[in-house]
Every structure is written in structure tokens, then in C-alpha cells.
Amino acid sequence: MIEALKQKKYLQFILLLIIFVVLCMVIAPSDSNYLWRLPPLIKDLPLAINDSVDFAMFEWMPIEVYDPEIEEFEQKPLLKEVTRVSSGFILFMIELIREILLGGVKTIVAFMGWDWATDNQWARWPALPWTIVAGGAAILGYALNGFRLALFVGLAFTYIAVFGQWEPSMQTLSFVLIAAPVSVFLGLVLGVWAFRSRLVESILNPLLNMAQIVPHFSYLIPVMVFFGIGDHAGAIATIIFATPPMVRLTLLGLKKVPPEVGEAGLMGGCNNWQLLTKVLIPTARRDILIGVNQVIMQCLAMVVIASLIGAKGLGNDLLIALNRLRIGLALEIGVCIVLIAIVLDRLSLAWANKQTDYFADLSFKQRHKYSLMFGAVFVGGVILAGIGSLIFKEGFNYLYLIPHNKGITTENFWQAGVDWIWDTFFYSLKSFNEWLIVEVLLPVKNAYLSMPVAATFVLTMGIGYIVGGIRSALIIGGLLLFIALTEWWDRALITSYLVTVSVMISMTLGIVVGTLCAQHPKSSRFILTYCDTFQTFPSFIYLIPVMMLFGVTDTSVLIAIVVYATIPALRYTVEGLHAVPESLHEAGSMSGVNRLQRWLSIELPVSFPHMALGVNQTVVFALSMVIIGAMIGTDDLGQLILGALSEKNGVGNGLVLGLCVAFIGLAIDQVIRTWANQRKEALGLE
Amino acid sequence: MSTSAANSSDALIRCDSVYKIFGDQAKSMLESSGGVVDAQKFQEAGCIVGVNNANFEVHQGELLIIMGLSGSGKSTLLRCISRLTDATAGNIYIEGEDILQMNNKQLIELRRNKMGMVFQSFALLPHKTVLENIAFPLQVKGVGTKESITRAKEMVDLVSLSGRENYFPRQLSGGQQQRVGIARSLAIEPDIWFLDEPFSALDPLIRKEMQDEFLRLQGVLSKTILFVTHDFDEALRLADRIAIMKDGVIEQLDTPANIVLNPATEYVRNFTEEVPREKVLKIDSVMDPYDPSEEISDLKVPQDAIIETVAEAVLTAGKPVGVVNQAGEIVGALHASKIISILFGGHANTPDQQNS
Ligand SMILES: Nc1ncnc2c1ncn2[C@@H]1O[C@H](COP(=O)(O)OP(=O)(O)O)[C@@H](O)[C@H]1O
Ligand SMILES: [Mg+2]
């Protein structure tokens, strides 16, 4: 009996499940019963964090600073000065780019002062006509990848201008154009440093893992405290969020450089700097540029979230539109965000894959082809704007700048569509909604809430133990213990319930659809393109259409999560199935299996480790969406984090809540990753 | 045969008791062992022995081949001498200077001016063209673009890659890529040329072609060469002397003929057993003294020719063949029976015994 238990994992699981059920039945739900709920021992942790943040910000290390206004030296805390100076710098850079695109006076003011600018009304930086920006972007697309990309980029910018979203779009773009390079630079530096030093790597690694899962909102609160509110704060939150993938990919790329290439560099006589800049980084170029692409995507994903702490642009408008339930407008803005995301994604990928021809003998015209083209576009744009000022004597010059919300709008059309859907399907939607909530979601939610804490620990640590031994069990136990000792265990259970339900649906969908699509090269290619495209959408976008259909309910959140989290499930399924070696297929066919048997007995087991990583991603995606879902109303951890944003002392709460969410993710990650690695080893992959 | 002791003055490279041991406690373990390293024991303690007490010299213009099975420490030895890794103990002199004492700057200078290396996996820079890859060591050194490119173009011609200057490595076949690797390593006109299994990753046919190319280059350039291979045929084709390594120890370092004829250890004997004698031995090791009364054929063979290359001619000559030295004087006679016994006679009556 004992022997069988040791051998067979499924017996262990069954035993674990029995214990779990028994525990659930035996333990009485009472607040004084520690087996039911642990006491919130670290309830005061948020307060302690608040205090130390306050101390760091307002008292720690005072330094003498010269204040030009009162012409005296003043005592100011170091950290506050540092954050003030860096905020100022970042804000200046954002404004600079913004004014190149949209015109304005702030950059001039920064150099000359307000008084001078008021006295000299002529000193205004003129906006670039939108035609020049669109044309310039198209030329960039052409230079990087030829005519098709140029056409797409040009059309996308024209769309944005024509639909009256030019100003917020350029505001968003200026924000991304600062946040992305800073993130890339930081990521590169940290990545190289981690590559050079084991110690730094071992410190950075857990931080990177965390950063992947801590909800975006949690970054906002400390940033708000340290840097205040505004574009710069949004940019800094974005940078904090977008740097980790860059670090990760830089490190990965550098590690993949074959040692002999490094040695060839050394034997070529490189010093350390040359080795790094001329050999290692260029050789790791592919991964590093994928990192750049990731950074850009993360920046756009943050556009909406950063607007919560004052970033101007599309994100802000989208939030307002959603709050007023103007779904049509929200949809239009959403399209613009998606367009910018796709444009930047395609441009950066094209750049990553671009190869330069060296030493080609080119004429002046060929060598400066793109500059010449841009010159022509510039002159053309100015002339067009001039003509425009003649045509549109009254009102707006549409060939120069199309003011916000003064373009063509399709809002009424969309709104009518939404109304029609509501009128036509009201009852079926409503009854589906009610059925889902009453029959499925509520029971599951209640089941989660009625788990005694002891049973939860036994179950999760037991799974950890069976899969990964004592180490996994302890890691999971530790992570969950932290959550259990806060006062938010129940909320965490609700978050887990939403994640569990949606991950199950997503995985089922992903595996079934993915498997079907993987049968045929054409459909696999289609589905991968679909994943690529939809992955570039900021998660927020997914909320718009479901809100159209289901209003502000758990159902909306659930559907949005499912749609969003199915993307990685699909991708990893298709990729996993494709990675099954051809010889195995043939071996299967030779032993006479039919299609279904082949799928069940060969393809699934072999590709499962890779798919498991898909589960991991699905969980991460689902978690981030759950938290964002809080914006349209759930009652889990996410909603509290959102609440913390508007509290005066929200730092502690926000951070601890963020950690709770991250720990849920890390616990799941621990199990899945361990298991996947074991399977891979057992199957001799890698 | 060995001239190393006598000519130590013209040794370009000299290794004195060089050890390379991987592992955290390598240094302390080596010290406590007093220089007598037992690979087995070290392995149990978590240390891997890469090079175990290497003592040898390489002379100006010599082509030394380092041989051994995979994992025997050939690459490690090469990396120690080029100081891509730091030896755990011992001294390595290049032109009399101890490179282990050099600081980073001196080392870079040394590599920029005196050393070139070719790698088994080619190790080309994927983002640079053929021309740029070859010009790379020059540009790193600070040579101007124009001059380095001109020089790189010469190198492209030298390795017969003209017309492919602007290709990227991934657009080239393996053999072509290795030509680029060779050209790159030669661009700075190094005195010492390291080649670590340069042809092992190539198909046999291409390998033969590249060996020919290598011999041609060496004929033109006459560098001092350390050449790693695990292919005995390759070694015999190319070597002045051969070092045979096993578990980090240099079992024997000698001329190809001596290694075959007088294996120093059981391991070397096993290693060389399967080697066809005719591919190694030169005529002078099997010729008989010249007896002027004997009638010899009109055919003459040089005394330092490899047997294989003249065997057919000798066998079809019908009479004993005259062996001449470089001055053209007859120094011996070669009988067909000797050739036959080398070619077909097994090892019982190889010159092995006669000489010893
Ligand atoms: N960086 C290293 N760390 C630990 N062991 C190494 C390292 N490099 C080589 N070795 C070990 O040293 C021994 C000799 O390796 P190597 O010189 O590469 O052999 P060869 O080139 O003859 O095939 C092998 O057992 C190898 O595993
Ligand atoms: Mg080797």
C-alpha cells in the first residue's frame, strides 16, 4: 500500500484530495478558529511601509539646496530632491517631443522663463502639420520594411488624424517615445551588469519574476508618492514596468552568445568595452531587439493605467469615456491605441530584422534617399498646410491640425450599434448573464470562500510536495502564509476564484482550438498572426466590447479575462504541437495509431511541457486582467488596490495588496514550472 | 630526434609545469597534492583536471599538433597558452616573457600583435560581413577603416573568397565560413597561430580541401602553429611534431614517425596501432644501405618522402629504387619487399623493432 503510494502520483493526489475534503468538513467556520482563518498578524505592515516611505521621503538625509526663488540655501531631504530633479528632467523631455509634434510654449518657457514668453507672443513653437508626421512615419516604415509597412503606417496615422484623435494620440506617442528609450537603456545596463556579475543576477532574478506578476496598479501608488502626479509620474511608472522584460531579454541574449564568439573577440584583441559593444551586444542583437519591442508594447499597455496618475493622452480620454459609459467614443479611442500599438510593434520588429548592406557603392542620391524623401514630405506638408489655410478660412485648418474630437466621428454609429444590440438581445444577454452569475460564478465563489485556511494550505502545499518535493511545498507555503496573515485572505480567495475559472476556460479553449488549428500549416499561421496582433492590444481594450454587451458585471470581467488569457494558451498549444519531432509522428503512424490516438498518446504528452508554460502565461495574463477588471467592478484584491490609489496613505496597502496578487501568481508558477521542467527532462527535451 | 633541450634558446613558446584544474578548490587541492595530480581523485573532490603538468617548447616556425580524444584537455591547453583561461599553476613563456604575469593591457597588446586563433565553430560575428569580420581585429586595434579594409581585401584573396566580401556569415557554407575565420585570424599577421579543431565541423571532402588550403597557406606564411585535432590522419598530414594528450597529461610529444615507431606509453601505442605505417614513415626509416654493386632502377625517391606517396612507383619499378638526399646524392636503396611488409605485413616486422 505504502509502496504503491510512493510509486503512483495519482494515488497521492487522490489521498490529498480526501484529506482536503475531510478537513473542509471538519473545521468549523468561526473567526476564533485559527484553522478556519489565520489572525491578521501583519495587518500593520502597510502602516509600517507608509511610515518608512514618509521617513525616506521627507526626513532622511537632509541636504543643503539652493533655492533661486528666495535666494537662500534650504534644508531638503535627499530623496525628495532626487525625485524632484528627475521628474523635472523627464517632464521636460516629454514636453519637448510633445511640442515638436503638437507645438506649444513650455520648452521655450523652460529656457527663457514665463515673463519673457508672455512678452514675446511670437515665440511659439509651431506644430508639425499632421501630414508631415504621417508622411515621415510612412517613410520610416518604407526604410525599414518596404512599401506595405509604409502604407499601413501612413494609413494608420491618417485615420488617427481624420477621426479627431490626433492631439491625444501625439500626447501618448510623446510619452511612449520617452519612456521606451529610457527603459531600453536601463534594461540594457542592468542586463549587462547581471551578465557580468553572478551576484547581481541572483539579486535581479527574483525581482524580475515578481515584476512580471505584481499588478500594474501597485506600481502607481509608490510612484505617486515619490514623484507626484502628471506625465512624468506616468512615464516613471511605465519605465519601472517596462524595464524588466528588457533586462530579462538582454541577459538571455548575452547568455546565448556562444562562448567561442566571445573568445574570438578576445583573441581579436578587444578590451572589455570593445568586447561588450562590438561583439557581445551585436551578437545578442536579435534578443535585445525583441526586448525593445516588448518595452514598446509594455509602454502602450501602461498608457491607460498611467493616466490614473495623470498621464495625458488617449488613456485618459478612454478612462473618461468608459466612466461616462460612452462606449462608442471609447471604441474609437481604443482603435487609436491599438493602431499606435501595432504601428510601433511592426516598426520595431522590422528594425530588429533589418539587415544593413555595408560597403555598397552608393550614389549620393541613393545614400540619402530617405532624407531626401522626408525633405520632400516636409515641404509638401508645409505647402498643403498653406493651401489649407486658404481653403478653410473659417474654423479649423484640416490640413494642418485636426483638433480633438473635431474630425469625423463614428461614435453615433457605434452607439446605435450598442443600443441595437441591447434592444434586440436584451433578454437573452440578460438571462445568460444571470444564469452565469447565479448558477456558475456564485457557487464557485462561495465554495472558495468556505474553504478553511488549514485545508487550503494542506491542498496547495500537498500539490507542491507531490510535484516538486519539500522545497516547492515550503515555497508555496511561505507565499500563501504571507497572504493569510494579512487581512485580505477572503479577497485573495475571490481573486483566485476568478483566475481559476477563467484559466480553466481559457486553457480548454486554447488547447481545443489550438490543436485544431495546428493540424494545418495555414491555419496555424493564421492563429499565430492572430495571437501576435491581439497580444499587442493593451489589456484595457478588451473591456470595451464586453462592457458593450454585458454592462458592469462579473460576467464582463470574466469574459474579458478569458479572451485575453486565451491568447497565450493558444500560442503555446500551437507552438508545443509544432515542436513535436517529425520522427515521432512517423513512428506513431507506423505503429498504426489513428489521429485521435496519436494526439492523445504522442502529441499531447510530448508538447505538454511547453503547453504548461502556456498555462503559466495564461495565469499571468488572467491575474493582470482580473486586477484591471476591478475598474469595472469586482470585489477582489484589485478593487482594493484601486481604492488604495485614491487614499492618502495608500502606499502600504497598495504594495501589500500587490504582493498578495504576485504571490498567488508565484505559487502557481512554482508548481507549473517545476512540473514542466521535470517533464522536459524526462522526455529528454532540452 | 628530440631537439627541444638543445635549442631552448629559440623556443617561441615554453610551458613549465602548467596545470589547469577547474573547480572551486582547484588551487588548494593542487598545492596540497604537491604537483602529482590524480585525475580520478580530483574528480571525486569536484575538480576537473584540464591540463596536468604540461612541459614543452614550441620552436619558431614549427607546426605542433595537439591530439587526443575529446575531453582530453587539448582546447584547455590552447586556452591556457592564449590566456583565454588562466592556468592554475605553472609558467608559460612567449618569447621569454611570462604571460601569466602580464596585466590586461599587455595581454591585449600581445593578442593584437602576435596571436591569431581559429575556432572549431568558426565564431564569426553574425552582424558583420565577410570583409568586416576579417577587418575586425585591425579595427579593434585602431587601424583606420580604409587601411583595414584594404588589408582585409588582401586576406579575402588569400583564402580565395573574392566576390563574397559583402556576404554575411549565414550566407556562406561551413568551409567558406572557416576560410573567413582563418583570414580573420591572419589579418594582423600574427607570429603564433592557434587553431582549435578548425576542420572538425566540416564534411570529410571539404576537410581534405581545407587541409590542402592550410598546407598551401603554411607554405607561404611559415607561422609558428599550435593545431588541435582529434583526427590522426589530419595530424600526420600536417605535423612537424605531435603531442598526444590523455586526461590532461601530455603522454608523448615527438615527430610523427617516432610516435608511431616508439610509442612512449601503452596509451600511445593503442592510439597509433591502427595508423597505417606508410602514411607516417619516411623513406629513410625503411631504406637499406646503398650497395653500389646492386643494380638499381632509374627511379629516384627523396629520403624524406612519406612512404605512401612513393609506394606505387617503387613497387612497379621492378628493381630496388635509389634514395637520394636533398643534394641529390644516393644515400640508400629501397627494396620492394620492405614496402610490401609495411603495407601488408601487420606490425610484427615493422621497423619498430629494427630501430629499437
Ligand atoms: N570551463 C570549464 N569548466 C569546467 N570544466 C571544463 C571547462 N572547460 C573544459 N572543462 C573540462 O576539461 C576537460 C578538457 O576539456 P577540453 O580541453 O575542452 O577537451 P578537448 O578540447 O580535448 O575536447 C573536459 O573534461 C571538460 O569537461
Ligand atoms: Mg576542444
> What pLDDT was estimated at residue A150?
93
Tally of structural domains, chain A: 3
Listed in sequence order, the residues at least 6 apart from A264 whose beta carbon sits closer than 8 Å to its beta carbon are A279, B117, B119, B123, B124, B125, B181, B184
CB-based burial, A547-581: b 16+ in 10 Å, e otherwise: bbbbbebbbbbbbbbbbbbbbbbbbbbbbbbeebe
Nearest chain B alpha carbon to A260: B123
Q: Provide φ and ψ at B322, rounded to 5°.
A: -75, 140
Residue B88 beta carbon below 6 angstroms from any ligand 1 atom = no
Residue B130: closest CA among chain A residues belongs to which residue? A358
Residue A243 in any domain: the answer is no
- Judge if A462 and A592 occupy the same domain: no
Q: Judge: B166–A359 Cβ closer than 8 Å, yes or no.
A: yes
Chain A interface includes B123 (CB < 8 A): yes
- Residue A569 and residue A462 share a domain: no
- Evaluate whether residue A257 is within a structural domain: no
**Residues A520 and A650 grouped into a single domain:** yes
pLDDT at A634: 65
Owner of C-alpha cell 588551487:
B27
Please give the Cα distance from A633 to A245 (Å, whole number): 30
Say how far apart CA A7 and CA A5 lie, in whole Å: 5
Is residue A288 a contact partner of residue A281, using CB atoms and an 8 Å limit? yes
Give the pLDDT confidence score for residue B92 in this predicted structure.
94
Q: A98, A119, A140 — which closes off a domain?
A: A119
Are both A474 and A504 inside the same structural domain? no
Nearest by CB to B119, which of A264, A278, A360?
A: A264
* A509 close to B (CB below 8 A): no
DSSP string, A28-49: ---TT-TTTS---TTTTHHHHH
- DSSP letters of A252-267? HHHHHS-HHHHHHHHH
DSSP A358: P
The answer to whether the CB of B72 falls within 8 A of the CB of B271 is no
| Distance between Cα B77 and ligand 1 center (Å) | 10
**Residue A14 shares a structural domain with residue A62:** no
Topology given in CATH for the domain delimited by B2-276: Rossmann fold (3.40.50)
CA dihedral sign of residues B266, B271, B276, B278: negative
DSSP string, B15-43: EEEEEEEESTTHHHHHHHHTT---HHHHH
Q: Is residue A427 part of a domain?
A: no
pLDDT at site A463: 92
**Residue B96 three-state SS:** coil
Q: What is the pLDDT along chain B (356 residues), one digit of tens a residue?
A: 334 444 445 789 999 999 999 988 888 888 888 778 888 888 888 889 999 999 999 999 899 999 998 889 999 999 999 999 999 999 999 998 999 999 999 999 999 999 999 998 999 998 888 999 999 999 998 898 889 999 999 989 888 889 898 888 988 998 899 999 999 998 998 999 999 999 888 888 888 888 888 888 888 888 899 999 888 877 887 888 999 999 999 999 998 888 888 889 999 988 888 777 777 777 877 788 888 888 888 888 888 788 888 888 888 887 888 888 888 888 888 888 888 887 776 544 444 444 43
pLDDT given at position A596: 79
Structurally, what CATH architecture does the domain formed by B278-355 represent?
A: Alpha-Beta Complex (3.90)
**Interface contact flag, A266 B84, Cβ < 8 Å:** yes
B79 pocket-lining for ligand 1 (C-beta < 6 Å): no
Q: For chain A (length 686 residues), average pLDDT per consecutive 10?
A: 75 88 85 81 82 80 74 77 85 86 75 74 76 89 90 92 87 90 94 93 88 78 84 89 91 92 92 91 87 86 84 87 80 87 87 61 69 84 78 68 72 81 80 86 89 91 90 93 90 88 90 88 87 79 79 81 89 85 76 78 80 83 82 71 74 84 87 84 71
pLDDT at A643: 77
- Is residue A220 assigned to a domain? no
Is A589 part of any domain? Answer: yes
Q: Any idea of the CA torsion for A583, A589, A593, A597, to the nearest 10 degrees?
A: 40
Task: Point out the domain boundary residue: A119, A136, A164.
Answer: A119
Minimal CA–CA distance to A315: which of A349, A291, A341?
Answer: A341
- Asked whether residue A25 is domain-assigned, the answer is yes
For CA atoms A569, A573, A574, A579, give the dihedral sign.
Answer: positive
| Ligand 1 pocket residue status of B47, Cβ below 6 Å | no
Facing B140 at nearest CB: one of A268, A282, A357: A268
The single-letter DSSP state of residue A269 is: T
Backbone torsion region of residue B239, taken as left when φ is above 0, otherwise alpha when ψ lies between -120 and 50, otherwise beta: beta
Domain boundaries, chain B: 2-276, 278-355
- Boundary-marking domain end, from A77, A101, A119: A119
Ligand 1 atom nearest B69 alpha carbon: 22
The DSSP secondary structure of A79-143, one letter per residue, reads: HHHHHHHHHHHHHHHHHHHHHHHH-BSHHHHHHH-HHHHHH-TT--BPPPPHHHHHHHHHHHHHH
pLDDT at A594: 78
**3-state SS assignment for residue B58:** strand
Residue A478 sits in the same domain as residue A553: no
* Shared domain check, A53 and A32: no
Asked whether residue A524 falls in the same domain as residue A673, the answer is yes
Q: Are residues A617 and A480 in the same domain?
A: no
Q: Are residues A536 and A636 in the same domain?
A: yes
Q: Does B145 touch chain A (CB under 8 A)?
A: no
Ligand 1 nearest atom to the CA of residue B85, by list position:
1
Measure CB to CB from residue A269 to each of B140, B149, B194 and give the nearest one: B140
- The angle subtended at Cα B188 by Cα B186 and Cα B193, nearest 5°, is 45
The residue to mutate among B25, B75, B228, B245, having the most atoms of ligand 1 within 8 angstroms of its beta carbon, is B75
Query: Do both A673 and A575 map to the same domain?
Result: yes
Residues A586 and A522 in one domain: yes
Q: Which three cell numbers stand for residue A214?
A: 505584481
Question: Which residue range is the domain that position A521 belongs to?
Answer: 498-686
Pick the residue whose CA is nearest to atom 17 on ligand 1. B73
